[in-house]
């Protein structure tokens, strides 16, 4: 239980650190998701193993991916998808 709590604290800390790092660098803007994915790969079980895999972390991973797709849907500007871009996408 203590290992799970530590994992949740590390994941939450990374989720709060990523937007801060984006705002610090004002000359070269990168999307927050790049920092989140990069830190996720870094702290995951295949690199530093700060957050070991498990059923609960797998749920958070799937939930985060679904939320990423959901937020990407909000980024679509449907007013710009008329004409040729819409035809090409179709």
In the chain, how many domains are there?
1
Q: Each residue of 7-24: pLDDT tens digit? A: 889 989 998 998 898 888
Check pLDDT > 80 for residue 80: no
Please state, in angstroms and rounded to a whole number, the distance separating the CA atoms of residues 71 and 77. Answer: 13
Predicted pLDDT at 13:
92
Check pLDDT > 80 for residue 37: yes
Confidence of residue 27 (pLDDT cuts 50, 70, 90): confident
Q: Kindly state the average pLDDT of the residues 74-86.
A: 75
Q: Which of 62-66, 68-72, 81-85 has the highest mean pLDDT?
A: 62-66
Tell me which residue range forms the domain holding 47: 2-89
Predicted pLDDT at 1:
64
User: Would you give the distance in Å from CA 78 to the centre of its chain?
Assistant: 23
């Amino acid at each position: 239980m203590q290992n799970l709590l530590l994992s949740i604290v590390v994941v939450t800390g990374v989720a709060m650190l990523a937007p801060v790092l984006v705002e610090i660098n004002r000359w070269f803007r990168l999307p927050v998701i790049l920092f989140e994915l990069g830190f996720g790969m870094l702290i995951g079980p295949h690199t530093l193993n700060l957050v070991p895999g498990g059923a609960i972390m797998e749920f958070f991973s799937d939930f985060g991916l679904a939320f990423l797709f959901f937020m990407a849907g909000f980024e679509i500007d449907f007013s710009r998808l008329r004409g040729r871009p819409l035809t090409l996408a179709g």
